[in-house]
Amino acid sequence: MDRRVWRQFDWVLVALAAILILYGVIMIFSANQNQEDLQDLWWTQLTRAGVGLVVMVAVAAFDYRWYGSLYKFLYVAMLAVLGTLFLVAELTAGTLRWLDFRLFPVQPSEIAKIVVIIVTAKILADRDGEMNKFRNFLFSGLVVVPPLLLIYLQPDLGTTIITAVVWLVMVLMAGVNVFHVGLLGLGGLLLSPVIW
């Protein structure tokens, strides 16, 4: 790996994240010190946050364009994992959102948001300057529909809306025709009674 990546790395961001994590762990420890059933909660939080911090550094160490080259694989893997939820996930509070990996549970819909960003960014980059054409706008939207549908069926309306808004902001920034967005919004309103 190119050493310049580490020289240009935003270590201040990592340090701030670590400080916030440590503060949160201390607050959890302090709040649950006298509750026997919650005394280990701080350690669970610290372990998961530590794993997240390591993953953040590892992911950020690679050139972002490398992720773009993997967009097809990431897209298929995302759909496969979201689909797997309906087969192996245990029902929790009426939803199928979590995969249990013993050490810690994983919510695939949160990872799916990142994959949607990568896939959408790749589509927009490949069609730079041409997103005002309806077919390109439609294609980017159709690509996002399957993961949105799988997330909605968990059911997880909140994550569905957030992911859709992220996609919408990205295509707007890419210069799509606002009229096309209006058509999409009108279609969504007409379908909302059926979807709801």
For residue 88, which amino acid is it?
V
| pLDDT tens track for 120-176 | 999 999 998 899 999 999 999 999 999 999 999 998 889 999 999 999 999 999 999
Peptide bond into 155 cis (omega under 30): yes
pTM of the entire predicted model: 0.78
Domain boundaries defined on the chain: 1-62, 64-196
Alpha-carbon 60 to chain mean position: 15
Bridge partners for 99 per DSSP: 106
Alpha-carbon 86 to chain mean position: 19
C-alpha to C-alpha distance for 85 and 73, rounded to whole angstroms: 19
For the chain, strand residue ranges (E) read 99-100, 105-106
| pLDDT tens track for 55-105 | 888 887 787 788 889 999 999 999 999 999 888 877 776 777 787 766 667
